[in-house]
Amino acid sequence: MDPEEFRRHAHAAVDWISDYRATIEQRPVRAQVEPGAIEARLAAAAPELPQSLATILDDFERIVMPGITHWQHPRFFAYFPANASPPSVLAEILTAGIAAQCMLWQTSPAATELESRVLDWVRQAIGLPEGFAGVIQDSASTATLAALVAARERALDGAGNRDGLAQHRPVTVYATAEAHSSIEKACRIAGIGSGALRRVATDDHGRMRADDLAVQVANDRAGELHPAAVVACLGSTGIGAVDPLAEIAAVCRSEALYLHVDAAWAGSALLLEEQRWMSAGVEHADSFVFNPHKWLGVQFDCAAHFVRRPGLLTAALGIQPSYLTSSETGRVIDYRDWSIPLGRRFRALKLWFTLRAYGLEALREMLRNHIAWTSELASWIAAEPDFELATTPSLALLTFRHVPAGVADLDAHNCDLVERVNADGFLYLTPHTHRGRAVVRWSIGAQTTERRHVADAWARVRDLAHGRG
Ligand SMILES: *Cc1c(COP(=O)(O)O)cnc(C)c1O
C-alpha cells in the first residue's frame, strides 16, 4: 500500500469511526449472535492473492460488526466501563502509525520520559504521596503479577529467582474472597500457588478484617510458612467493597509484609477529593494499581502501576543480556525492567492526550455525575416494592434483586431477568452471585452516558420484570 492509498483509506476509516460513535445509541448494546455464527461466515484460510481494501472493509461491516458488543454505548452498564475517549483514540492512531517498541529508553526516549512525567501527573491527581514512581502496564492483572513476584523475591531475598521455589519455605499471600481473580492467577503464575493464597474474613460490607489478617499471618508463621504479601482491594469487582487500607497497612508494617493495592476500577474516583477516604493509609503501600482504561477514558490498554521502591520491582524483573545493554544503561529508566514482557507499546501518549484534552476538572465532573446517578438509581430501586438493593451502592456500582411475591426460586428468576434484559439489547447488565444469592449488577461509567440513559434503562428493566417488555 503506497502512502497516498493509505491516506485515502485512513480518512475513510476515521470517517467510519466518527459515524459509528455518532449513531452508537441506535445499536443493541450486546451483540445479538449465537456462538459460532461469525466464524461460520469467515473464509477457512488466508487468501493467496491480494484483496481490495474496499472488499475487506465491506466484510468488516457485514461479518464483524454484528458480532461486536458496544462498550462505548451510553447504556452499557455491564462489568466495568472500558472507555475510549476520542482524544485517546487519536493518540492510539498516532501510536500505531509510529509503531515504536518502547522497551528501553534508547528505543524511544520520548516514550519513557513522557511515561514518567504523565504518570507523575496522575499520581498528583489521585493524591498519591510523593515518592511513588509510575509505570504503565498492559493491565491490572500484569501489574499485580509483577507486584507479587517483587513481593516473593523480597521475602526470599532474591533466592526464588536464583534457585526456584522448591528449596524454600512456602510463601503465602493474603486477600479476601471479594478480591479479583487476577490475584489468584498471579499466585499461580508466580509459583506461589492457589493454595497459598489465604482468604481473609470480611465484614458485612465485604471489607477485609484486619484482625483476621493478623491471626492468619501469625498462624502461618507458626506453621513454618513465609507470609509475604497482602493484596488490598479498593472497589471490588463484584460489589465495590473497599478494604480498610490504614488498618491493613498497620498489620503489614508490624509483620514486614509487602502491601499491594488493587484499585483497578475505583482508583479513578480518587481524582475526587471527597472519595480520598478510600486511600487513607496508601502512603504505607508498596505498590498501587488502577486502570485509566476503565473509568477515566483512556483507550484500552493502560494500567497505571505505582511503586514506592522501584528497586524491588527491578530486582525481581530486571535481566541484563548484552544485546539489551546501551550506553545509557544505569543512567535512565529502562521500563522493560519494570514489566513482565520485554516489548512495550507507547501507551503514555493516549494518557497525555486524554488528560490534556479534557483537563482534570471535566474528568471529575464525569465521575461525580456517574456517582450521583447511581445514588439516584438506588433510590428508584429502593422505592419499588418488588425490588431491593442487594448491597450498599459503592461509587458508581450497585447490585439489586427483583423479589416479587410468589416466586419460589428468586435466584433463577433474577438470572432469567438479566438474560431477558441483555437479549433485548436496549441496555447491558451483568449477573453476579453475592453470598450465594443471584443478584443483578449495574455499573455506570461510560463516558457517553447521560442521566436520561440511566432513567430509560431503569424503566426498561422494570417493564421487563413486570412482563411488559
Ligand atoms: C478489572 C479489574 C481487574 C483486572 O483488570 P485488567 O486490567 O483487565 O487486568 C483487577 N482488579 C479489579 C478490582 C478489577 O475491577
Residues 132-189 have pLDDT tens digits of 999 999 999 999 999 999 999 999 999 999 999 988 999 999 999 999 999 999 999 9
Question: In this predicted model, which residue has the larger pLDDT, 424 or 376?
Answer: 376
Tell me what pLDDT residue 255 has: 96
Task: Show Cβ contacts of residue 124 under 8 Å, excluding neighbours closer than 6 positions.
Answer: none
Tell me what pLDDT residue 325 has: 77
Tens digit of each residue's pLDDT (9 = 90 or more) over 24-73: 999 999 998 999 999 999 999 999 999 999 999 999 999 999 999 999 99
Cβ burial of 52 (10 Å; 0-12, 13-18, 19+) is: exposed
Only one residue has cell 499471600, namely: 173
Tens digit of each residue's pLDDT (9 = 90 or more) over 337-394: 999 999 999 999 999 999 999 999 999 999 999 999 999 999 999 999 999 999 999 9
In the chain, how long is the greatest CA-to-CA distance?
75
- 199 strand-pairing partners: 175
Nearest CA owner, ligand 1 atom 12? 264
DSSP H helices in 48-126: 53-59, 86-98, 109-125
Tell me what pLDDT residue 13 has: 94
Nearest alpha-carbon partner for 461 in 83, 29, 32, 71? 29
Tens digit of each residue's pLDDT (9 = 90 or more) over 92-105: 999 999 999 999 99
For residue 181, the surrounding DSSP H or E stretch is helix 181-189
**Ligand 1 center to residue 261 CA distance, Å?**
12
Tell me what pLDDT residue 347 has: 97
Please provide the DSSP assignment of 228-290 as one string: EEEEEEBS-TTT--B--HHHHHHHHHHHT-EEEEE-TTGGGGGGSGGGGGGGTTGGG-SEEEE
Can you tell me which atom of ligand 1 is nearest the CA of 143? 9
Tell me what pLDDT residue 323 has: 75
Output the average pLDDT for the chain.
Answer: 96
**Ligand 1 center to residue 458 CA distance, Å?**
26
Tell me which DSSP letter residue 176 carries.
E
**Ligand 1 center to residue 161 CA distance, Å?**
26
Confidence of residue 249 (pLDDT cuts 50, 70, 90): very high
Tell me what pLDDT residue 469 has: 63
Nearest alpha-carbon partner for 415 in 433, 428, 399? 433
Q: What pTM did the predictor assign?
A: 0.96
Mean pLDDT within 415-442: 96
N- to C-terminal Cα separation, the chain? 50
Nearest CA owner, ligand 1 atom 1? 264
Can you tell me which atom of ligand 1 is nearest the CA of 236? 13
Mean pLDDT within 261-270: 98
CB atoms under 10 Å from CB of 380, counted, come to 15
Pocket of ligand 1 (CB under 6 A): 80, 139-141, 180, 182, 233, 236-237, 262, 264-265, 291, 303
Tell me what pLDDT residue 40 has: 96
Query: Are the C-beta atoms of residues 333 and 103 closer than 8 Å to each other?
Result: no
| pLDDT over 90 at 329, yes or no | no
Can you tell me which atom of ligand 1 is nearest the CA of 139? 7
Query: Are the C-beta atoms of residues 409 and 417 closer than 8 Å to each other?
Result: no
- 394 strand-pairing partners: 397
Question: What's the chain's Rg over C-alpha atoms?
Answer: 24
Nearest alpha-carbon partner for 235 in 272, 193, 185? 272
Pocket test for ligand 1, best of 144, 262, 340 (most atoms within 8 A of CB): 262
Tell me what pLDDT residue 331 has: 86
Confidence of residue 468 (pLDDT cuts 50, 70, 90): confident
Core vs surface per residue 85-108: b (16+ CB within 10 A) or e: bbbbbbbbbebeeeeeebbbbebb
Confidence of residue 319 (pLDDT cuts 50, 70, 90): confident
Query: Are the C-beta atoms of residues 295 and 268 closer than 8 Å to each other?
Result: yes
